[in-house]
Amino acid sequence: MMTPSYPIVRLRPKANAKAVRHGFPWVYDNELVTDRRSRNLIPGTLAVLEDAERNTLGLVAVNPNSRIICRMIDRDETAQVDQAWFAARLTRALQMRERLFDAPFYRLIHAEADDLPGVIIDRFGDVAVVQPNAAWADLLFDALSAALIEATGVTTVIKSATGRARSLEGLDNESGVTEGAAPAAPVPVPMNGATYMADLTGGQKTGLYFDQRPNHAFAARLCKDVTVLDVFSHVGGFSLAALAAGASSALAVDGSEAALALAEEGAKATGVSDRFTTRKGDAFDVLAALAEEGEKFDVVICDPPAFAPSKQSVEAGLRAYERIARLAAGVVAEGGYLVLCSCSHAADLAKFRGACVRGIGRGGRHAQLLHTGFAGADHPLMPQLAESGYLKALFFRL
């Protein structure tokens, strides 16, 4: 087989070549020599990366339109990135998930941590939802999709092109079914004794958040024979697991009518509809209203969207987390539990925990921190990339 011929891109003399050599997977636009030739490369082009002394560092995907101008694809600069290459990486990821889970419902590929930079793949039985959030994966999507079918046996592949990550890469937002047929109805997903209904074509992100699975399970241990409030509930993540574990009642709050309808379908499928209610509205407003109404719950969970999706939004995001903590603390019964979550990678654990503690204090409550949860093992961390460890869940007793 002939060795592929790739263009060459080169780090600037002051760039941190050592970090790349030791595993950091990104090169920022101010670290790369950018001349007319490199700026004219098609976004997603594969190239050989060299340091300033012309030593080879590996094969990268180049996107001149992105702040992350290079993503490390393979340390072997002669690698041929084709269907077989994708299949090998998918198979390696699949072997770990099959060891961890009894049923094929999990995150199969978690981007850089699974050696497919910018690629997210969630599996729902025979259906895979792919988020190609980097230009190279968009460019090579056909080979990736074919390899996915080959390695896993899925029959339907859905491309999800929504989200902030693709806009940062300068990519379009055209989603759709690329192989097979779209599910005719929401897909039932078994987790933690409950059944969740995932809308794989019209729902948020890939249709369901697998990352919270261990935190749902830990919270459920606190919920037997008690009342539960699940704020930012989406399709009932925490509340359905709590009811499956024996909660006496659960109220799910979300701003999306469609998400709450799916939560109600999930409650019916789980056999807990008689103990489940929903309330549509802005989470901040609903929490304030519940306090005004004098409502108290034994377990309150708040799992908001990313309030701090970037470094620029950290301070505003931390204020929002603090406000949520203050409002939520006000509806927790004496001796009850408060679970506060963040999926903002830009707000690290210490900053998030500080905001939550301030909010609880401002709410006039005293707290013990009894557990800190993270994403499940199907969302592995790349040790060199702090951004891959985004999810935090803090479990307080008030």
On whether the 8-74 domain is CATH 1.10.579.10, my answer is: no
Give the whole-number percent of the chain exceeding pLDDT 90. Answer: 89
Can you give the pTM of this predicted structure? 0.94
pLDDT band at residue 395 under the 50/70/90 scheme: very high
Cβ neighbors of 127 (< 8 A, separation 6 or more) are: 154, 155, 156, 157, 158, 180, 183, 187, 200
Distance CA 192, CA 215 (A): 10
Start and end residues for every CATH 3.30.750.80 domain found in the chain: 83-179
Q: Say if residue 77's pLDDT is above 90.
A: yes
Q: How confident is the model at residue 1 (pLDDT cuts 50, 70, 90)?
A: low
Out of 105-114, 183-192, 199-208, 259-268, pick the least confident. 199-208
* Averaged pLDDT, 253-264: 96
Q: How do residues 284-311 score in pLDDT, each as one tens digit? A: 999 999 999 999 999 999 999 999 888 8
Please state, rounded to an integer, the average pLDDT across all residues of the chain.
95
Alpha carbons 329 and 90: distance in angstroms, whole number: 43
What pLDDT sits at residue 350? 94
- What would the mean pLDDT of 125-130 be, rounded to a whole number? 97
CB 344 within 8 A of CB 308: yes
For 136-176, write each residue's pLDDT tens digit.
999 999 999 999 999 999 999 999 998 788 888 889 888 99
pLDDT at 2 (0 to 100):
58
Residues of the chain with CATH 3.40.50.150: 187-397
Q: What is the pLDDT of residue 309?
A: 85
The reply to whether CATH 3.40.50.9100 applies to domain 83-179 is no
Q: How confident is the model at residue 104 (pLDDT cuts 50, 70, 90)?
A: very high
Q: Where exactly does CATH 2.30.130.10 map onto the chain?
A: 8-74
Q: What is the DSSP string of 324-358?
A: HHHHHHTTEEEEEEEEEEE--TTS-HHHHHHHHHH
pLDDT tens for 215-236 read 999 999 999 999 999 999 999 9
The secondary element (H helix, E strand) that includes residue 284 is helix 283-292
Cα–Cα distance measured from residue 124 to residue 357, given in angstroms and rounded to the nearest whole number:
37
What pLDDT, on the 0 to 100 scale, is given for residue 165?
86
pLDDT > 70: percent of the chain: 99
What local confidence, expressed as pLDDT, does residue 18 receive? 95
Q: Binning pLDDT at 50, 70 and 90, where does residue 316 land? A: very high
Predicted local distance difference test score (pLDDT) of residue 164: 83
Find the range with the poorest average confidence among 3-7, 14-18, 158-162: 3-7
Longest CA–CA separation in the chain, Å: 73
Homologous superfamily of domain range 187-397? Vaccinia Virus protein VP39 (3.40.50.150)
In angstroms, the CA 301 to CA 171 distance is 35
* Mean pLDDT of all residues in 329-356: 96
Would you call 110 helix, strand, or coil by DSSP?
Answer: strand
